[in-house]
Amino acid sequence: MAINAQYLGMALDVNDLDTENLTYFRHCAAHQFHLQQCTACNLLRYPPTTGCPWCASPEARWVPVEGRGSVHSYTEVHHAIQPAFRGRTPYMVLLVDLDTQKGKPTPDEAIRVVGNLTTADGVLAPPEMVRKVGIGTRVRMVFADAGPGLAIPHWTIDEGGQQPAKPWRYPQE
């Protein structure tokens, strides 16, 4: 069944044919993080898709994965393109290396999952929190409910994690 929901007043639709994303977001709606695991080579992949990027097999199973990792890179948005974000700048978009499968199948690889930086309850992070986060910050996944059948996976600072003394940030003016 298709998903028709809203996030910050913007329509978010996943249609009937997009079975991979429907399954992915069905798990997110239950506040669970699941990824496809290839049944031929056993590697996980993200984002959800029809074939394995490593061995091209179309066969996969859904498995629970720990939503925890380190910031690989980030962007801090000061000029919102989407009108819904205009009153919410600066906000932060994170690219996170999951702990699971880091360094496989080559030392430079990781499953890198995109999400906004939010508070622990899934609200876009305030500026003082944005300023604390940089490359290396330990984060955990949280889910923001976006209507029936949909929750958006985001990232928040992992309060119990071993944080770097000074996460790397772009030089500020």
Give the tokens for residue 31: 């506040």
20 is written with which tokens? 């991979």
When the beta carbons of 105 and 127 are compared against Zn ion, the nearer one is 105
In the complex, minimum distance from the CB of residue 45 to Zn ion, in angstroms, rounded to a whole number:
8
Task: Please report, as ranges, the residues that interact with Zn ion according to CB under 5 A.
Answer: 38, 40-41, 52, 54-55, 57
Q: Which is nearer to Zn ion, 109 or 145 (CB)?
A: 109
Nearer to Zn ion, 6 or 39 (CB): 39
Nearest approach, Cβ of 152 to Zn ion (angstroms)?
27
For the chain, the three-class secondary structure string (H helix, E strand, C coil) is CCEEEEECCEEEEECCCCHHHHHHHHHHHCCCCEEEEECCCCCEECCCCCCCCCCCCCCEEEEECCCEEEEEEEEEECCCCCHHHHHHCCEEEEEEEECCCCCCCCCCCCCEEEEEEECCCCCECCHHHHCCCCECCEEEEEEEECCCCCEEEEEEECCCCCCCCCCECCCCC
Give 2 or 41: the residue with its C-beta nearer to Zn ion: 41
How far apart are CB 46 and Zn ion at their closest, in Å? 13
In angstroms, give the least distance from the CB of 109 to Zn ion: 13
User: How far is C-alpha 163 from the chain's CA centre?
Assistant: 19
CB of 2 to Zn ion, least distance (A): 28
Q: CB-wise, 53 or 83, nearer to Zn ion?
A: 53
